[in-house]
Amino acid sequence: MNGVVPAWSGFNSLVTEADIPVATVRYLPFSHTPPSDFSTIYTILQRLIAIAFAQGQHHILVTADLAIYSKAEQILWEKTELQDKVTMRLGGMHLIMAFLASIGKLYGDGGY
C-alpha cells in the first residue's frame, strides 16, 4: 500500500474477498413547495417511505432541522401508521444548540 492508509471503506475493499457491487449515489428530486409546510413534510415522508420500501428497507431514519423536525414529529403523532416506518432525528447543529442551551439554563445563575 506504499505507506498510504486508506479510509475505512478503502481498507475494507482491499481486505475483503467478497464480490461487492459498486454503490451509486443519487440525489432525490427537489420539491418546489415551502419546506416547513405540513403538507410538504407529509408528502416528503411518504415519498421517502416509498423509496425505502422499494429498496427493501422497512424503517428509515430522517434527519431534519428544528423547524421541520418538530412538524414531522407532530405528523408522526397524528398518523400512527407512519410511526413504525419513520424515526425522526434532530440535525447535529440543532442538537448541539439544544445541549448548550440546557447547560446555560442549568448554570445561568451560577456566574458573577
pLDDT tens-digit map of 19-77: 877 777 888 778 788 988 999 999 999 999 999 999 899 999 999 998 999 999 999 99
Give domain status of residue 3, yes or no.
Answer: no
Three-point CA angle 43, 48, 50, nearest 5°? 95
Place of cell 475493499: 13
Half-sphere exposure of 21 (CA within 13 A, CB side): 3
Domain encompassing residue 57: 8-107
User: DSSP string covering 89-107, please?
Assistant: EE-HHHHHHHHHHHHHHHH
Give domain status of residue 48, yes or no.
Answer: yes
Decide which of 44 and 7 is more confident.
Answer: 44
Please enumerate in sequence order all residues whose Cβ is within 8 A of that of 94, keeping only pairs 6 or more positions apart, or say none. 65, 66, 69
Give domain status of residue 2, yes or no.
Answer: no
Could you give the number of structural domains in the chain? 1
Maximum mean pLDDT: which of 66-70, 74-78, 100-104, 106-110: 74-78
Give domain status of residue 51, yes or no.
Answer: yes
The answer to whether residue 5 scores a pLDDT higher than 70 is no
Q: How confident is the model at residue 112 (pLDDT cuts 50, 70, 90)?
A: low
End-to-end CA distance of the chain: 57
pLDDT in tens, 63-93: 999 899 999 999 999 999 999 999 999 888 8
Give domain status of residue 26, yes or no.
Answer: yes
